[in-house]
Amino acid sequence: MKLFSWNVNGVRAATKKGLFQWLEYEAPDVLCIQETKAHVDQLTSEILTDHGYHASWHSGERRGYSGVATFSKKEPLFVQEGLGIDKYDVEGRVLLTEHEDFLLYNIYFPNGQKDDIRLKYKMDFYDDLLPIINDQVESGNNVIVAGDWNTAHHPIDLARPKENIKTSGFMPIEREKLDGYVDEGWTDTFRLFNNDPEQYSWWSYRMGARARNVGWRIDYFFVNSDFSELCKNADIHQDVMGSDHCPVSLELDL
């Protein structure tokens, strides 16, 4: 079983750049997209139905901002929009879908670069999500958390760690939050299979960063530790264009 996650930086823009041709070619079992920047009433049938996938959407109150969607070949057993916490759910950041063998959280984590208020909002999000997914595991579920986490965890995960130590996305307080997830049994699946440097999933549009591979790895599939035994492979697809992010994937032995 193969899952993909991709921050498309606007689903309508990504569609014009070949999103659904790529989806037809790659044919994953599940695709999670983040930063859709659209409400369903703004979308065409090409995006909503013509691809043949079951599509679930969670959009924020503010149009043209945030938003997530999950496409699956098999209809999910259950769909939940949001975490049930209003201050996050109004921004359309989370979709929970239940599948036969796991729960899947498709998440667009907050960005903390704007100011201290948004940084605290981001830190609160990490803190509030962790007990929710821990409770799911304690209840006997396997859980996958996919999406744009908006934090590079270790120096290997960005091209210029020393220069960005005070930049939101690589600040110690943010990285410590990811440490906390790992300490509580969550596994970064990509690093199960690949410990090479220069493996990035996001590049600034400025100064030809992508062509020079001056990037950050901020898109992840995390799973609970027991479920990691069923992970066959995880990858970053740096050759796929259409956004400032590239897709990341997880293959499961299911």
The residues annotated as belonging to the active site are 148
Reading phi first (left if > 0) and then psi (alpha if -120 to 50, else beta), residue 22 is in alpha
Q: CB pairs under 8 A, 24+ apart, for 149-155? A: 149/107, 149/109, 149/178, 149/218, 149/219, 149/220, 150/109, 150/110, 150/111, 150/112, 150/122, 150/218, 151/109, 151/175, 151/177, 151/178, 151/218, 152/216, 152/217, 152/218, 153/178, 153/179, 153/188, 153/217
Write the CB contacts of 68 (distance below 8 Å, at least 6 apart in sequence).
32, 33, 34, 35, 36, 57, 58, 92, 93, 94, 95, 106, 107, 108, 147
Residue 18, exposed/middle/buried by CB under 10 A (0-12, 13-18, 19+)? middle
Considering only CA atoms, which of 92, 56, 93 is closest in space to residue 76? 56
